[in-house]
Amino acid sequence: MFSSRGPTMEPMRYRYEFEQALPMEEIEATLHLAIVAAESVFGSSTVRMDAQYSIDEPRRICVVDASSEVGRCICQIFTGYLTREFGASAFRVRPTGSREPVMAGGSA
- Would 104 be classed as within a structural domain? no
Is 41 a domain residue?
yes
Nearest-angstrom CA–CA distance, 17 and 25: 14
Strand partners, 17: 61, 92
The whole-number average pLDDT for the span 56-64 is 97
Global pTM value: 0.83
Domain tally, the chain: 1
- Residue 51, pLDDT score: 96
In a domain, 67, yes or no: yes
In a domain, 71, yes or no: yes
CATH number at residue 38: 3.30.70.600
66 lies in some domain? yes
Residue 32 covered by a domain:
yes
- Let me know if residue 48 belongs to a domain: yes
Q: Is 60 exposed, middle or buried (0-12, 13-18, 19+ CB in 10 A)?
A: middle
Asked if residue 1 belongs to a domain, the reply is: no
